[in-house]
Amino acid sequence: MNFTYPKSEKLKSKITIDLLFSKGKSVSKYPLRLVFVESDYGIPESREFGTEQKLKMGVSVSKKHFKKAVDRNYFKRVLRETYRLNKHILTDNLDKKYAFMFFYQTKERLTYDEINTKTIQLFEKFVQQLKNQE
């Protein structure tokens, strides 16, 4: 199992991020939300995804809920870490390439363990939703 979050896996393309917000679907497990789009949905293959890359992930924490950058950065670090440790749930069940945006959507300051538990539930819910579509 590969517990890394390499630079090649980070979502940075403005085109892809715009596509996520316009055409993306989402799945939620309060207070987390995962917005996703398949890579064959108009994402330029050569620009965003490498040949072996299955997914791209970005994280976001609302400025509305956390005014101080220190607080936003803390929760972004926690989201990236929970993603890094649990991404095997996604990669083991994906056959297509996906772009994801991972949101923390509450004013509550949950602990790392609570966020980790919710992340696992969210990823399992996403996988279940994919299986139901097939």
pLDDT above 90: percentage of residues in the chain: 67
Going along the chain from its start, the domains and CATH numbers come out as 9-133 (3.30.230.10)
Tokens of 87: 């991404």
SS3 36: strand
| DSSP annotation string for 13-33 | -HHHHHHHHHH-EEEEETTEE
Q: List Cβ neighbours of 76 (8 Å cut-off, separation of 6 or more).
A: 59, 60, 61, 104
Mean pLDDT of the chain: 88
Q: What is the pLDDT of residue 76?
A: 96
pLDDT for 46 equals 47
Enter the tokens of residue 77: 């670090």
- pLDDT score at 13: 87
CA dist., res. 50 & res. 53, Å (int): 5
CA distance 15 to 48: 9
Q: Rounded to two decimals, what is the model's pTM?
A: 0.87
Residue 94 confidence (pLDDT) above 60: yes
Beta bridge partners of 58: 101
Collapsed DSSP state (helix, strand, coil) of residue 4: coil
Q: What is the pLDDT of residues 13-65, one digit of tens each?
A: 898 899 999 999 999 999 999 999 987 655 555 455 555 677 899 999 999 99
Nearest-angstrom CA–CA distance, 82 and 17: 21
Angle between helices 112-133 and 69-91 (to 10 degrees): 40
